Structure 1
Amino acid sequence: MLGVIATAIGGPEVLQVTELPDPEAGPGQVVVRVRAVCVHPADVASTTGEIPRGPVPLPFSPGWDIAGEVASVGPGVTELQVGDRVAGMIPWYLTRGNPGGYAEFVAADTGWLVPLPDTLDFAAAATVPLNAQTAHQGLALISTGLFPAGSTILVTGASGGVGGFAAQLAVQGGYRVLAQAADGDEAWVQSLGAHEVVSRSADLTALGPVAAVFDAVPLGEPAAAAVQDRGVVVATRPTPAIVPGRGVRQDLQLIRLDHDLLADLVRQVAAGSLLTRVAATLPLAEAAEAHRRVLAGGLHGKLVLTP
């Protein structure tokens, strides 16, 4: 099978398309024929050596989120059959790219996968697992602050995958959502149900104080400056410590795979109660180009590779 591996730490040029051994399904596993794999900033960070939890041994295959069909079933598997449509998240923080999703086939534990409704196409499904789970789990950290219904949450990066899901889930949770949009992307963010949309260039300190910040960019201190005393800031990557003295709680949200949560989030996207978007699809062989586009920024939606 064809796959994409990183052979060194560096820019997109370190990604190589190569022939890899066909995977076999072990006990409790299935082999997924990958129809779509999402390209995340985390994939780019893995190749540049900036991923949390330390460096990754070379060579490795990027790719967290996949969607496709079950091609074969391993011993002891009864919950999935050949031909079933599935979406899932490779827990890359555990596999460290062995396996990764940038491949035509992946041997996956059944606990990584959830059923994919016929109403949701592969490319859209591949944008859900990492982004939506991160958003949901980050909001759960905020909810421990016991803010009353109607409290305002600022979501930075609401044009992006995590931020977009965070804005929608916060609205579902009864919060008043103040969402920061990329320039020219205000209409999309408004369609997510945000109560107020502000531009990327807005002075966030003038918008507060808000009860909590979901810092999906993350911006760090400029976003934290908008939160009220004894509020909460949740960031998706490590940021410098917040200026002390105001009692603000600072949390870091790193993804963990939750099978039941993932199944529910995929169902919501399939039903249209959560929105996602794909900026473009590219062949698997153009993974390096996809990484270049992510680094350049300005995307309206996620890039998806289609093996």
Structure 2
Amino acid sequence: MLGVIAAALGGPEVLQVTELPDPEARPGQAVVRIRAVCVHPADVAATTGQIPRGPVPPPFLPGWDIAGEVTSVGPDTADLRVGDRVVGMIPWYLTRGTPGGYAEFVAADAGWLVPLPDEVDFATAATVPLNAQTAHQGLELLSSGVLPDGSSVLVTGASGGVGGFATQLAVQAGYRVLAQASAGDEEWVRGLGVQEVITRSADLGKVGPVAAVFDAVPLGEAAAAAVKNRGVVVATRPTPAIDPARGVRQDLQLIRLDRKLLAELVGLVAAGRLRTRVATTMPLTEAADAHRRVLAGGLRGKVVLTSG
């Protein structure tokens, strides 16, 4: 099979298309013919070595979120059959590229995969697992403690993957959502049901104060300026400590794979209750160019690599 490996640490140029052995399903696994794999900033960070727990020694396969069809199943693999449409998240924080999703096939643990409804195409499905789970889990972290229904919540990066899902889930949870949109993307964010759209150039210190901030970008100090004293800020990457005198609870959201939650979120997408966007699809063999697109920024939606 073809795969795309990071042959060294560095920019997009380190990604190389190469022939790899076809995977075989071990007990509790299924081999998935990958039709779509999402390109995340986390993939770019992996190739440059800027990830938690330190760099992964090359060569390795990037890629978290996959969608495709089951081609074989190993012994003791329940609930999966050849031909099933599936979507899943490779827990890259554990596998660290062995395996990764930038390949034509992957041997995936059954616990990584959930059924993919016919209403959702492969490319759209591949945008869901990492971003939607991060958003849902971050909101749970945000609301733990005292955050009554109707509380004001600011979401930064609402035009993006995590921020877009977080915005929609916060609205559905009954919060009064203020969402920061990228320039030119205000209308799409407004369509997510928010109370107010904040421009990217706005001084967040003049917004609110709000009860809580979901800092999906993250912006760090700029976002913390919007939260009231004794409020809460949840960020998707480490940010500077907030002045302890303010009494703000500051938490870090790190993804954890939750198969039941993933199935629920995919179901919401299939039912039209969660929106997601694909900016462009590109062949798997053009992964280096896909990374360049992500690094260039300005995308409205995710870049998805396709195969077959």
TM class by shorter chain equals over 0.9
SS of residue matched to 1:103? coil
Show structure 1 runs of 4+ deviating over 3 A: none
* 8 Å contact kept, 1:33–1:68: yes
1:84 aligned residue: 84
1:25-59 Cα deviation digits (max 9, x unpaired): 00000000000000000000000111122211211
SS of residue matched to 1:245? helix
**In 2, Cα distance between equivalents of 1:88 and 1:195:** 32
2:175 aligned residue: 175
* 8 Å contact kept, 2:147–2:211: yes
User: Which shifted more, 50-59 or 67-76?
Assistant: 50-59
Matched, 1:197 2:193: no
SS of residue matched to 1:174? coil
**In 1, Cα distance between equivalents of 2:28 and 2:192:** 38
The one-letter code sitting in structure 2 at the alignment partner of 1:143 is: S
Alpha-carbon shift at residue 256 of structure 1 (Å):
0.2
SS of residue matched to 1:78? coil
1:143 aligned residue: 143
The one-letter code sitting in structure 2 at the alignment partner of 1:140 is: E
**In 1, Cα distance between equivalents of 2:130 and 2:160:** 12
Percent of residue pairs bearing the same amino acid type: 80
TM-score of the aligned structures, taking structure 1 as reference length: 0.99
Matched, 1:18 2:18: yes
Alpha-carbon shift at residue 244 of structure 1 (Å):
2.4
**In 2, Cα distance between equivalents of 1:39 and 1:195:** 30
1:232 aligned residue: 232
* 8 Å contact kept, 2:78–2:110: no
Alpha-carbon shift at residue 193 of structure 1 (Å):
1.2
1:105-145 Cα deviation digits (max 9, x unpaired): 00000000000000000000000000000000000011113
* 8 Å contact kept, 1:70–1:85: yes
**In 2, Cα distance between equivalents of 1:78 and 1:160:** 35
Matched, 1:208 2:211: no
* 8 Å contact kept, 1:145–1:232: no
* 8 Å contact kept, 1:145–1:231: no
Q: How does 1:66-77 map to 2 (within 5 A)?
A: 66-77=66-77
Alpha-carbon shift at residue 277 of structure 1 (Å):
0.6
**In 1, Cα distance between equivalents of 2:130 and 2:215:** 16
**In 2, Cα distance between equivalents of 1:145 and 1:170:** 16
SS of residue matched to 1:264? helix
2:31 aligned residue: 31
The one-letter code sitting in structure 2 at the alignment partner of 1:134 is: T
**In 1, Cα distance between equivalents of 2:301 and 2:5:** 24
* 8 Å contact kept, 1:28–1:76: yes
* 8 Å contact kept, 2:171–2:177: yes
The one-letter code sitting in structure 2 at the alignment partner of 1:153 is: V
* 8 Å contact kept, 2:91–2:257: yes
Q: CA RMSD in A?
A: 0.6
The one-letter code sitting in structure 1 at the alignment partner of 2:164 is: G
**In 1, Cα distance between equivalents of 2:301 and 2:137:** 21
Unaligned runs of 5+ in 1: none
**In 2, Cα distance between equivalents of 1:76 and 1:7:** 35
**In 1, Cα distance between equivalents of 2:243 and 2:182:** 27
The one-letter code sitting in structure 2 at the alignment partner of 1:78 is: A
The one-letter code sitting in structure 1 at the alignment partner of 2:84 is: D
The one-letter code sitting in structure 1 at the alignment partner of 2:65 is: D
2:131 aligned residue: 131
The one-letter code sitting in structure 2 at the alignment partner of 1:163 is: G
* 8 Å contact kept, 2:90–2:101: yes
Alpha-carbon shift at residue 158 of structure 1 (Å):
0.2
**In 1, Cα distance between equivalents of 2:181 and 2:4:** 33
1:268 aligned residue: 268
**In 1, Cα distance between equivalents of 2:81 and 2:167:** 36
The one-letter code sitting in structure 1 at the alignment partner of 2:269 is: V
User: Which shifted more, 146-155 or 256-265?
Assistant: 146-155
The one-letter code sitting in structure 2 at the alignment partner of 1:111 is: G
Alpha-carbon shift at residue 77 of structure 1 (Å):
1.4
SS of residue matched to 1:119? coil
2:282 aligned residue: 282
* 8 Å contact kept, 2:39–2:290: yes
**In 1, Cα distance between equivalents of 2:203 and 2:179:** 13
Matched, 1:159 2:184: no
2:115 aligned residue: 115
